[in-house]
Amino acid sequence: MTRSDCRLFSLLVLSAAVLLDAGYFSILALACVLLSLAFCFNGFSTTPRGPALPRWAGILLVVCLGASTGLYDRKLDHPVFLVTAALLVGAVLLFSLVRARVARATALALAALAGAVGIAVTITWGTAGIDVFEFQQSASSALLHGHNPYTPLVVSPQVVAPGVSTLLHLHFPYGPILPVLEAPFRLLGDIRVLHILAALITGAAVLTLARRAGTIDRAACVVMAFPLSVGMVMSSWVDIITMAFLAVWLVNFRSHPRVATVALALALGAKPTTLIALVPIFFWSVRARRQTVIAAVAAALFVVPFAFATGLSQFYFNVLGVQLDVFPRFNALTIDTFLKTFSLPILPFAASAIVVAAATILVLRRRPSTYGDLLTGTAILATVSFLVAKWAYFNYYYIPAVLLVLAIAGDSLPLDVPEMIRPPALFLRSVDWLRAAAGRFPRGSSVPGISFPGRQ
């Protein structure tokens, strides 16, 4: 298989893992995540195993990806998702097999119709049975009335002790950029209009990258068949917005640096988990490092007034502290849930940190030359991090799924000119210092006062 084939396999299996139980734990779902990770590693290697898939097999994989939308019916009382799955399969086949522009435009329209039907059936306008929606709806409403968006309290289920859940009244737990962006859509009655636009922006970014890379045929089909957007919009997960901005940055950080920097600032100011997707590109790309620093400063300047208005300690607790204080959730799609299921001790923090550090070193040790390499490595790091996290549900695994879509689109497109791809100078100086320090130590056989049997 080519690296693109491996990434497509990985995306298919990861999507199935998330949809099997709506992002919650099951043995089969966890097995699918691990299988997806294995395919991802194969797509990241310099020599993927096996011959390239024939064209019909690649089309079949994308058809299966679109058909996985039918898995929504396992948890929702809306058999319409069998219809949307059929529409997506038809759209993929039409786009893949008929080259005429009219046919391809019709395929895109069918895919759009499938997404619109899925969202329309699942959304109850202005209400949703999930705390993340109430957080965003109430915060944007407060902002429209001239109040601090961190003032409203929302009832949220939280784990306060091992195996003990309760309902807590919490403030808005995300960055202030979100209610500012969502306020105009709150006037329409439902902030999820922004989430729909975010899904469209992500698709447009992927297609833009695919046009540059010459992968438009496969990438367009993957965008049409991608099954997770409906679930993200339905539950108003914030990650769909942050990943839209991140996708815009990744696609434009070379060609339109100002637009890219603004997009990255919006992503950083929305939700801190965006940072996991920045590690590889920050390490390797000179251009990306510069823009990340500027975007981070801009996001911080935007956040500061809200932090002072709320109170620094209270603001910290709202956005970060509450996430750090709660205990692991044993229905999440993680290794800890698997261990707890069999009454085994969960991973200590040190073990989780070592696993993430090992994955980081494994990913960073390879210098990426293409968008495909970079984004596949980023998807690996994100997936491993979520597997050993305190919790990870549908919205968390949406992040590596989008990274894989972008990796498929970017495939063999050069990431940047070679001289702009190098680690930070501080890292290089540290390596030189360690090498120099190691060189000052005498070699084993010449250590004074120690003799080695059989050696002179």
SS3 content of the chain, % helix, strand, coil (to 5): 70, 5, 25
Would you call 20 exposed, middle or buried from its count of C-beta atoms within 10 A (0-12, 13-18, 19+)? buried
Q: Rounded CA gap, 314 and 296, in Å?
A: 21
Q: Rounded CA gap, 367 and 149, in Å?
A: 43
Q: Rounded CA gap, 356 and 354, in Å?
A: 5
Q: Rounded CA gap, 156 and 174, in Å?
A: 14
The first and second tokens of residue 435, run together, are 């090498």
Q: Rounded CA gap, 25 and 334, in Å?
A: 7
Q: Rounded CA gap, 307 and 400, in Å?
A: 30
Out of 72-76, 133-137, 284-288, pick the least confident.
Answer: 72-76
Give phi and psi for 124, each to the nearest 5.
-100, 115
What is the structure's pLDDT at 48? 67
* Residue-wise pLDDT tens digits, 201-235: 999 999 999 999 999 999 999 999 999 999 999 99
Q: What percentage of residues in the chain have a pLDDT greater than 90?
A: 80
What is the structure's pLDDT at 274? 78
| Residue 239 contacts residue 398 (beta carbons within 8 Å) | yes
Burial state string for 196-234 with b = 16 or more CB within 10 A and e = fewer than 16:
bbbbebbbebbbbbbebbebbbbbbbbbbbbbbbbbbbb
Would you call 445 exposed, middle or buried from its count of C-beta atoms within 10 A (0-12, 13-18, 19+)? exposed
For residue 166, the cross-strand partners are 158
pLDDT band at 443 (very low <50, low <70, confident <90, very high): low
For residue 129, give the DSSP letter: S
The first and second tokens of residue 341, run together, are 């299921």
Give phi and psi for 414, each to the nearest 5.
-55, 135
**Between β-strands 164-170 and 154-161, what pairing exists: parallel, antiparallel or unpaired?**
antiparallel
Q: Rounded CA gap, 402 and 240, in Å?
A: 9
Q: Rounded CA gap, 268 and 231, in Å?
A: 23
Mean pLDDT, the chain, whole residue set:
91
Q: Rounded CA gap, 418 and 241, in Å?
A: 31
* Residue-wise pLDDT tens digits, 22-47: 999 999 999 999 999 999 999 998 87
| Residue 25 contacts residue 6 (beta carbons within 8 Å) | no
* Residue-wise pLDDT tens digits, 264-300: 999 999 987 778 899 999 999 999 999 999 999 999 9
Matching residue, tokens 């003032």: 151
- Asked whether residue 444 carries a pLDDT value surpassing 60, the answer given is no
Does residue 156 sit in helix, strand or coil?
A: strand
For residue 370, the cross-strand partners are 414
What is the structure's pLDDT at 45? 86
- Asked whether residue 449 carries a pLDDT value surpassing 90, the answer given is no
What is the structure's pLDDT at 453? 38
Q: Rounded CA gap, 295 and 245, in Å?
A: 12
User: What is the DSSP annotation of 193-218?
Assistant: HHHHHHHHHHHHHHHHHHHHHT-HHH
pLDDT band at 452 (very low <50, low <70, confident <90, very high): very low
Give phi and psi for 170, each to the nearest 5.
-120, 155
For residue 164, the cross-strand partners are 161
User: What is the DSSP annotation of 80-124?
Assistant: HHHHHHHHHHHHHHHHHH---HHHHHHHHHHHHHHHHHHHHHH-B
Q: What percentage of residues in the chain have a pLDDT greater than 70?
A: 96
User: Does an H or E element contain 46, and which?
Assistant: none
Q: Rounded CA gap, 150 and 314, in Å?
A: 9
Matching residue, tokens 């984004």: 375
* Residue-wise pLDDT tens digits, 313-332: 999 999 988 888 888 889 99
Give phi and psi for 233, each to the nearest 5.
-70, -45
Across the range 239-256, mean pLDDT stands at 96
- Asked whether residue 414 carries a pLDDT value surpassing 70, the answer given is yes
pLDDT band at 419 (very low <50, low <70, confident <90, very high): confident
